[in-house]
Amino acid sequence: MKTIHFNQIRISLVGMALMFLGCNPQGSGGSDGALSSSAAEKVYIAPGEQDEYYAFLSGGYSGNLTVYGLPSGRMFKEIPVFSQFPTSGYGYSEETQPMLNTSHGFVPWDDLHHPDISQTNGELDGRWIFANGNNTPRIARISLSTFETEEIIEIPNSAGNHSSAFITENTEYVVAGTRFSVPVPQRDMPINEYKGNFKGALTFISVDPEEGHMEIAFQVIMPGFNYDLARPGRGESHGWFFFSTYNTEEANTLMEVNSSQNDKDFIAAINWKKVEEYVAQGGGESVAVNYAHNLYDESTHSATSTMIKKVVTVDPTQIPGAVYLLPTPKSPHGCDVDPSGKYIIGAGKLSADVTVHSFTKMTEAITNEDFDGEAYGIPILNFDNVLAGVVKSGGLGPLHTEFDSQGNAYTTFFISSEVVKWELGSWEVVDRKPTFYSVGHLMIPGGNSRKPYGKYLVAMNKITKDRYLPTGPEMEHSAQIYDISGEKMELLYDFPTHGEPHYAAGCSADLLRDKSKKIYRLDENNHPFAITSPAEARVERDGKEVHIYMSTIRSHFTPDNIEGIKVGDRVYFHVTNHEQDFDVPHGIAMIGANTSEILVMPGQTKTIVWEAKQVGVWPFYCTDFCSALHQEMQGYIRVSPANSNVELSWSLGD
């Protein structure tokens, strides 16, 4: 049954208006002599010196988080989060496979969008960074000491987990708002009965203040809109959380047209303190769900996955004073709160203007019940009476606003490809600079806190085209760094980015540099298959499973000759790296393994499995160039027929 037919003309008009208007052939800014000289000096980090800021860029469809230095734009690490990462064995090793478990089974990928650094008193504290998996809804917590993913929690009743993973001023909660509304609970129903029946869950996940462990505190079950981005209140607005919405039309098909009909959508304001209190007093409903909670233990170097079966949902209409809707023009994408917490900025992506709501006016309107109707029982505040101001930008397609410490705001415009600087309070435009091309989000280190560092701005662009030497049809995305220390912004440099960065968080190098972990201590290694010294190396058979307790130290494996393995055996290499020096990993690869290598850091134990399929003598070797005799770091496994009586034996140096 074929049922495709729609208004082709309508699509084309929308398309023509919105695609890549800003795509000019060449760059400007910085390419004339004098300016370029200055810009070169500003981004150059001489050998032996270090960058001023860390930038954590989401990898988007890479599933990972990337770490850059500013102002150089150099990528220092790709941290595997939601995707298998053959480089280190993440998602392949026995220890890390549980990290990617979900209610849908093992999921080797996700779309990581929005990192946010933990805070204390509204300032970055540099303990953890949180990030969302957009596709199979999940939130991850990454240590900013080890730069490894420590925890992933799945979000039930959610789909397209986009308005995530943003945190409150003391990291009380990390939020996860659904982009796509779905039946809650899931059930078999016609898609075109969406309106009024699908729901949008806004999930508040509590964070243990000591360990950082996450637990779903409650889900606010909202109307079936699309929840896009979010920001916590701060200062006077502490205790609230704000979520932008689009598709308040509740359309379910040809969304580019059908969800762009309403002149205004909403920013949803959630008083999470009131919801918290309501739930503490027994409010809400405990409903049956099924979601994974995956936890990596640095001491055992291993992850576990636990399925959880209950979650508390709350109906926002049952909690007086907890939830309101602020009308906001033109499908708002960005939803940003200034450093003082006084202003909530909605960037209507189909608009030319930026809408600024006043938190003070919002609370007055709530007190005065100054409502302009309701949506599914949730009061809609009077637009004019909560409005602080409108930035008449002169641009098109505002997406996201960040701030400096001098009372200025910076908004990216996708369609007109530019960053516009404007002043909080006067709403006057101060400066504008082009981006190359079609900027999405931007980042100022310290953003989403009370204390942004107003020195650099990074624009994350969606179109690359001619910015770099061509690499075939598929290219990296591109970022640009601007000096914003003066009144006028100065474009300094273009740098390519890995995956598709949608968002970023940044902080001063000082916040993290000294607490970065260098090695794992061997005496703290509680891995069940760890050995404390090469003298404990051994091989044990358990039926058709063979466990090799293996040691690496420059430049040999202990043992390096193993016999008595038989066809059909499942051989576990449990490799403990006995180095205790910084930056001396060893890796191990075994010919024909149906998995990746593992890269084992000093003091760590990791496991790969190899299936013995064919008789013969098969080599393994170290994959990390560890010393001048690295090439000699190898060994052999002899595989005999399944019915052989070759005795299990192992040795080194015999």
| Span near its own copies by CB under 8 A; candidates 137-145, 269-277, 281-289, 383-391 | 137-145
- Choose between 379 and 440: whose C-beta lies nearer to its own copies: 440
| 58 CB-near residues (< 8 Å, 6+ apart) | 65, 66, 112, 113, 114, 115, 131, 499, 501, 502, 503, 504
Tell the smallest beta-carbon distance from residue 514 to its own copies (Å). 9
Task: Using DSSP, state whether 185 is helix, strand or coil.
Answer: coil
- Choose between 157 and 382: whose C-beta lies nearer to its own copies: 157
Binding track, positions 231-270, relative to its own copies; x by CB under 8 A = ---------------xx----xxxxxxxxx----------
C-alpha to C-alpha distances, 267 to 135, 201, 389, 481, nearest whole angstrom: 23, 15, 15, 30
Which residues in the 269-328 window bind its own copies by CB under 8 A? none
Element containing residue 273 per DSSP (H, E): helix 272-280
11 — phi, psi (to 5°)?
-60, -45
- Choose between 168 and 245: whose C-beta lies nearer to its own copies: 245
Tell the smallest beta-carbon distance from residue 144 to its own copies (Å). 8
Say if CB 600 and CB 553 are below 8 A apart.
no
Tell the smallest beta-carbon distance from residue 117 to its own copies (Å). 15
User: Which is it for the CA torsion 478, 152, 199, 267, positive or negative?
Assistant: negative
Say if CB 273 and CB 239 are below 8 A apart.
yes
- Choose between 293 and 333: whose C-beta lies nearer to its own copies: 333
Which residues in the 364-423 window bind its own copies by CB under 8 A? 397, 414-415
The whole-angstrom separation of Cα 448 and Cα 114 is 12
Which residues in the 187-216 window bind its own copies by CB under 8 A? 187-192, 198
In the sheet with 398-403, reading across from the earlier edge strand, the strands are: 398-403, 408-413, 418-423, 429-434
Tell the smallest beta-carbon distance from residue 323 to its own copies (Å). 23
According to DSSP, the β-strands at 616-621 and 408-413 are unpaired
Q: In degrees to the nearest 10, what's the CA dihedral of 528, 534, 536, 540?
A: 70
Burial class (CB in 10 A: 0-12, 13-18, 19+), 16: exposed
Say if CB 172 and CB 158 are below 8 A apart.
no
Tell the smallest beta-carbon distance from residue 565 to its own copies (Å). 10
- Choose between 146 and 405: whose C-beta lies nearer to its own copies: 146
Indicate whether 429 belongs to the interface with its own copies (CB under 8 A): no
* Angle, alpha carbons 477-404-270 (nearest 5°): 85
* Angle, alpha carbons 107-112-114 (nearest 5°): 150
Say if CB 338 and CB 404 are below 8 A apart.
no
Which residues in the 143-172 window bind its own copies by CB under 8 A? 143, 145-148, 159-160, 162
Tell the smallest beta-carbon distance from residue 172 to its own copies (Å). 26
The whole-angstrom separation of Cα 82 and Cα 72 is 27
Binding track, positions 541-560, relative to its own copies; x by CB under 8 A = -------------xxx-xxx
Which residues in the 635-654 window bind its own copies by CB under 8 A? 635-636, 638-641, 644, 646-654
Among 422, 506, 597, 605, binds its own copies (CB under 8 A): 597
According to DSSP, the β-strands at 240-246 and 264-271 are antiparallel
The whole-angstrom separation of Cα 344 and Cα 242 is 8
- Choose between 121 and 471: whose C-beta lies nearer to its own copies: 471
- Choose between 155 and 365: whose C-beta lies nearer to its own copies: 155
Binding track, positions 51-80, relative to its own copies; x by CB under 8 A = x--x----xxxxx---x-x---xxxxxxx-
The alpha carbon of 171 is separated from its chain's Cα centroid by a whole number of angstroms, namely 16
Indicate whether 471 belongs to the interface with its own copies (CB under 8 A): yes
Among 419, 537, 548, 550, binds its own copies (CB under 8 A): 537
- Choose between 141 and 179: whose C-beta lies nearer to its own copies: 179
- Choose between 33 and 543: whose C-beta lies nearer to its own copies: 33
Cis before 559 (ω within 30)? yes
Tell the smallest beta-carbon distance from residue 394 to its own copies (Å). 17
- Choose between 269 and 415: whose C-beta lies nearer to its own copies: 415
Which residues in the 503-532 window bind its own copies by CB under 8 A? 509, 512-513, 516-520
3-class secondary structure per residue, 446-511: CCCCCCCCCCEEEEEECCCHHHCCCCCCCCCEEEEEEECCCCCCEEEEEEEECCCCCCEEEEEHHH
Q: Tokens 């940044």 appear where?
A: 506
Say if CB 248 and CB 266 are below 8 A apart.
yes
The whole-angstrom separation of Cα 472 and Cα 75 is 22
H-type helices in 92-232, by residue range?
none
Tell the smallest beta-carbon distance from residue 274 to its own copies (Å). 29
Among 120, 121, 186, 318, binds its own copies (CB under 8 A): 186
Among 213, 273, 465, 547, binds its own copies (CB under 8 A): 465
- Choose between 282 and 486: whose C-beta lies nearer to its own copies: 486
Tell the smallest beta-carbon distance from residue 229 to its own copies (Å). 10
Say if CB 519 and CB 582 are below 8 A apart.
yes
Tell the smallest beta-carbon distance from residue 372 to its own copies (Å). 25
Which residues in the 331-360 window bind its own copies by CB under 8 A? 331, 333, 349-350
Tell the smallest beta-carbon distance from residue 276 to its own copies (Å). 29
Structure tokens at 381: 């505040």
The whole-angstrom separation of Cα 68 and Cα 155 is 29
| Span near its own copies by CB under 8 A; candidates 86-94, 168-176, 202-210, 375-383 | 86-94
Tell the smallest beta-carbon distance from residue 211 to its own copies (Å). 18
- Choose between 237 and 461: whose C-beta lies nearer to its own copies: 461
Indicate whether 7 belongs to the interface with its own copies (CB under 8 A): yes
Tell the smallest beta-carbon distance from residue 61 to its own copies (Å). 5
Within a 13 Å sphere around the CA of 35, how many CA atoms are in the beta-carbon half? 12
Tell the smallest beta-carbon distance from residue 160 to its own copies (Å). 6
Binding track, positions 97-116, relative to its own copies; x by CB under 8 A = -----xxxxxxxx-x-----
Say if CB 519 and CB 581 are below 8 A apart.
yes
Tell the smallest beta-carbon distance from residue 621 to its own copies (Å). 6
Q: Name residue 175's beta-bridge partners.
A: 166, 204
